[in-house]
């Protein structure tokens, strides 16, 4: 999970990740859409692949990169624990506000 967070910390890698999430693509296709070279795209994809966030398949002479959904599971689980805590905190705050309103209505 740490390597996934580090990989996605770079704005260019996040952009590449978002693009291949929308549409699996080859290095050349991504390079045509971004202001970086093909070798730079390849390096960013290698980092994402090493982190388990993307996978690739051969298609003719190209490699098509797509998001590895299984690689997102540890990240989703980790973030989920914070989401649960946030929702619980929100529910507690709503209950406090409701109690205040009920006390004011009783006056």
- Taking residues 9-25, report their average pLDDT: 98
- Taking residues 24-50, report their average pLDDT: 98
24 token code pair: 């699996």
Confidence (pLDDT) at 1: 79
Identify the CATH class of 2-69. mainly alpha
Residue with tokens 């996605």: 8
Of the two residues 43 and 82, the one the predictor is more confident about is 43
**Residue-wise pLDDT tens digits, 71-88:** 999 999 988 888 878 788
Whether the predicted model's global pTM rises above the 0.85 cut: no
| Cβ neighbours of 18 (radius 10 Å) | 11
- Taking residues 51-74, report their average pLDDT: 97
Domain ranges of the chain: 2-69
């Amino acid at each position: 999970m740490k390597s996934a967070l580090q990989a996605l910390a770079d704005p260019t890698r996040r952009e590449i990740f978002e693009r291949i999430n929308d549409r699996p693509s080859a290095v050349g296709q991504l390079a045509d859409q971004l202001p970086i070279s093909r070798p730079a795209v390849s390096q960013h994809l290698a980092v994402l692949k090493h982190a388990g966030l993307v996978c690739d398949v051969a298609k003719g002479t190209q490699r098509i990169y797509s998001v590895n959904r299984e690689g997102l599971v540890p990240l989703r689980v980790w973030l989920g624990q914070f989401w649960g805590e946030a929702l619980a905190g929100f529910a507690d705050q709503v209950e406090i506000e409701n109690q205040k309103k009920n006390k004011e209505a009783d006056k």
